[in-house]
Amino acid sequence: MDKVGELPDRFLTDEQRMMRETCRRYVDRVVKPFIAANREREWFVDPAERTPPEILEEADAAGLRTLGVPAEYGGVDLDPATEAQTFAIIATELSRGDTGLTIKLAQGWKISIILRELAPKHLQDEWFGRFMADPHLLMAHCLTEQRGASDRWLPYNVPEAAMETKAVHEDGHWRINGRKQFISNGYDATLYVVYANTDPSVGMLDGTSSFLVPRDTPGLEVTRCNETLGGRYENNGEITFTDCRVPDDHLLAEGRALTLARNYFRPGKITVAAGALGVGIAAFEDTARFVQERVVGGRLLIKHQAVAGRLADMATKLEAVSALLRRAAVAVDNDDPDTNTLCFMVKVFSANSIVDVCHQAVELHGGYGAMMEVGIEKYYRDALLYLHTDSTTDIANFKIVKDLFPQTAGAYAGPE
């Protein structure tokens, strides 16, 4: 059998096989040794210094940082017919090393799509040029707010669900006021894609606009790094906007920004599910080695029936996640009618399944499973992050049911 949870080579293009091998070498040579040698770093090093420069420099040298950047700017121009599938392959492999790093890099992949689809040419020239020239430059997507996150994605397109962050047009500029919370790369980014309400009279899907906002824009302030349970190399952040003025040409999409950004959201669900899968594969591989080396009661652990049963269950869950992930990624690339449903399904199924896989890994390691220096507890912490990454599982389930049964799944009852 092929490696558990990994998409077999026969399903990959030559380019994808080459990219996976490149990513695997990077993870095995750079990321995993760093994580193993620095178990406490994610807890005790200041967020600004948490990720060593060489981690991003090596990713850049391997071409893993610039996926989605058009080839005319020196990036890795992916085949649009298999783009989401390629993101899934690379995100899975990266998360074998560290899921925070996967999230860090994936923001650049997805925002590169937004830039190439929505930004005017002169801003593409500027920001793709800067992104390619500086391996440490990161980008962030500012959608979530403190009082409104994935609950806004309930199928209620009404004014009261609108963004609290507002943008008002005046004198050739847009003035932004508000606050964004739980933003991946938010603490580190140099460039932000910011969503704000520009028409309070209509629903969220019709009154939300998106803007390109550089970090050094007056009125933009990064206020904190959220110290999360898992994915700590992501440096999730909080940003406030106080009379933050951006020029007219920094408007990416007016009114229909959320609809136009589906080329971000759909691959986002794929990379989230793939990231979770990579964590599960790493936890399984470490556990499989442990139970075939550790002797308890005079026998190798794997020879105990209860242990063998748990290991088989872990492997089965990984294969099931991998299969659904492939189907969802193909649907994104083909723009199939059931794409949205499949994206939410794989997000929920991967999150729940990988938490269970990592729980089993902790149990099978006994007391070692809770020891920081062993690393199994980190997989568990990182897996838990995916329950609330890119929508909560409850909201995602609601969306699935609404897609399946649009006439009977629930209707907006009006404001309190």
Domain-terminating residue out of 137, 154, 185: 137
Q: What is the pLDDT of residues 214-260, one digit of tens each?
A: 999 999 999 999 999 999 999 999 999 999 999 999 999 999 898 88
Domain of 337: which CATH number? 1.20.140.10
Contact status, residue 384 vs residue 355, Cβ threshold 8 Å:
yes
Domain of 145: which CATH number? 2.40.110.10
Residues 237 and 267 in one domain: no
Q: Does any domain span residue 99?
A: yes
Q: Does any domain span residue 36?
A: yes
Size of the chain, expressed as the number of residues it contains: 416
Q: What is the pLDDT of residues 342-386, one digit of tens each?
A: 999 999 999 999 999 999 999 999 999 999 999 999 999 999 999
Confidence of residue 391 (pLDDT cuts 50, 70, 90): confident
Burial of residue 14 (CB within 10 Å: 0-12, 13-18, 19+) is exposed
Q: Which residue has the higher pLDDT, 267 or 410?
A: 267
Q: What CA–CA distance (Å, rounded) separates 130 from 66?
A: 12
What pLDDT, on the 0 to 100 scale, is given for residue 203?
Answer: 84
Q: Which residue has the higher pLDDT, 410 or 157?
A: 157
pLDDT over threshold 80, residue 193: yes
pLDDT over threshold 90, residue 398: no
What pLDDT, on the 0 to 100 scale, is given for residue 402?
Answer: 87
* CA quadruple 109, 111, 114, 118: dihedral sign: negative
Mean pLDDT value of segment 301-311: 95
Q: Does any domain span residue 242?
A: yes
pLDDT over threshold 60, residue 13: yes
Residues 309 and 249 in one domain: no
pLDDT over threshold 90, residue 148: no
Confidence of residue 415 (pLDDT cuts 50, 70, 90): low
Residues 296 and 341 in one domain: yes
What pLDDT, on the 0 to 100 scale, is given for residue 408?
Answer: 80
Residues 200 and 242 in one domain: yes
Residues 163 and 291 in one domain: no
Residues 34 and 170 in one domain: no
Domain-terminating residue out of 137, 165, 198: 137
Q: Which residue has the higher pLDDT, 408 or 352?
A: 352
CA count, 13 A, side-chain hemisphere, 63: 20
Q: Does any domain span residue 411?
A: no
Q: Other CB atoms closer than 10 Å to residue 5's CB: what's the count?
A: 26
What pLDDT, on the 0 to 100 scale, is given for residue 59?
Answer: 97
Residues 16 and 122 in one domain: yes
What pLDDT, on the 0 to 100 scale, is given for residue 390?
Answer: 87
What pLDDT, on the 0 to 100 scale, is given for residue 21?
Answer: 97
The domain of 399 spans 260-404
* CA quadruple 199, 205, 208, 211: dihedral sign: negative
Residues 200 and 324 in one domain: no
Q: Does any domain span residue 4?
A: no
Helix (H) or strand (E) holding 21: helix 14-26
What pLDDT, on the 0 to 100 scale, is given for residue 297?
Answer: 86
Domain of 82: which CATH number? 1.10.540.10
Q: Does any domain span residue 149?
A: yes
Residues 311 and 340 in one domain: yes
pLDDT over threshold 70, residue 270: yes
Q: Which residue has the higher pLDDT, 326 or 265?
A: 326
What pLDDT, on the 0 to 100 scale, is given for residue 218?
Answer: 98
According to DSSP, the residues that pair with 168 across neighbouring strands are 175
Number of domains observed in the structure of the chain: 3
pLDDT over threshold 70, residue 412: no
What pLDDT, on the 0 to 100 scale, is given for residue 153?
Answer: 59
Q: CA angle at residue 244 from 179 to 69, to 5 degrees?
A: 85
What is the residue-averaged pLDDT of the chain?
Answer: 93
Residues 347 and 274 in one domain: yes
Confidence of residue 266 (pLDDT cuts 50, 70, 90): confident
Residues 269 and 251 in one domain: no
Q: What is the pLDDT of residues 68-111, one digit of tens each?
A: 899 999 998 889 899 999 999 999 999 999 999 999 999 999 89
Domain-terminating residue out of 205, 237, 256: 256
According to DSSP, the residues that pair with 296 across neighbouring strands are 299
Q: What is the pLDDT of residues 50-64, one digit of tens each?
A: 999 999 999 999 999
What pLDDT, on the 0 to 100 scale, is given for residue 161?
Answer: 78
Identify which of 155, 62, 143 has the alpha carbon closest to the alpha carbon of residue 110: 143
Q: CA angle at residue 113 from 392 to 15, to 5 degrees?
A: 100
Q: What CA–CA distance (Å, rounded) separates 67 from 182?
A: 24
Residues 229 and 352 in one domain: no
Q: Does any domain span residue 62?
A: yes
Q: Does any domain span residue 413?
A: no
The DSSP code sequence of 71-129 is: GGGTSB---TTSHHHHHHHHHHHHHTT-HHHHHHHHHHHHHHHHHHHHS-HHHHHHHHH
Mean pLDDT value of segment 289-311: 94
